[in-house]
Amino acid sequence: MHLRLSRYAAPVGELLVVTDPDGTLRALDFIDYDERMRRLLARHYPVFTLHDGAVPAVIVAALDGYFAGDVGALGQVPVATGGSVFQKSVWAALRTIPAGSTMSYGALAAQLGNPGGARAVGIANGANPIGIVVPCHRVIGANGTLTGYAGGMARKQWLLAHEQGAQTTGTQTTGTQTTETRAAQPRLI
């Protein structure tokens, strides 16, 4: 598989963006976690090559929107990855957690029909190769505490605060729909 490696300057740190020839996002990680990203790519794609290239315009627009406060902008980014059926189900479920909200590993496991599977959900969450866009940072411990994040706890805190701050600014755009919001506190779902 031929993949394109690009960089994106985000307020929370420089991002590595990996896309396929169709512009589908295959991996997104922080530049200081390049080795981790390459390990995950090797697990998902036993044979791949990385070539430098530009970030596709649709992904730049979505990331620009997200970091400017349109926290729903990432919902339209096309993503694809390898992984087991279970991992893919966890990663798909992560994209259903609304920005500004958090969910516990146990609640996510229950949503997937496996109420005793919090640990398995945590392992799949930790193997997510597409950070931020597939928002593994929105998953927290059962008692509401922040738990591990591959990009580092400071970045997890920053991302959650950014999303919650955008929720309190009065508007959120998702796709083509703009809605007024009043959520001043993160919602635990």
Residue 101, helix vs strand vs coil: strand
Query: Long-range pairs for 89-92 at CB < 8 Å and ≥24 separation?
Result: 90/121, 90/124, 90/125, 90/128, 91/124, 91/128, 91/130, 91/134
- DSSP SS3 for 177: strand
Pseudo-torsion of CA 139, 143, 144, 147, nearest 10°? -50
- Nearest-angstrom CA–CA distance, 97 and 107: 11
Give the three-state DSSP class for 89: helix
Tokens 């406060």, located at residue: 69
Active site residue 136: yes
> Of 5, 10, 97, 136, which one is the catalytic site residue?
136
Residues recognised as catalytic? 136
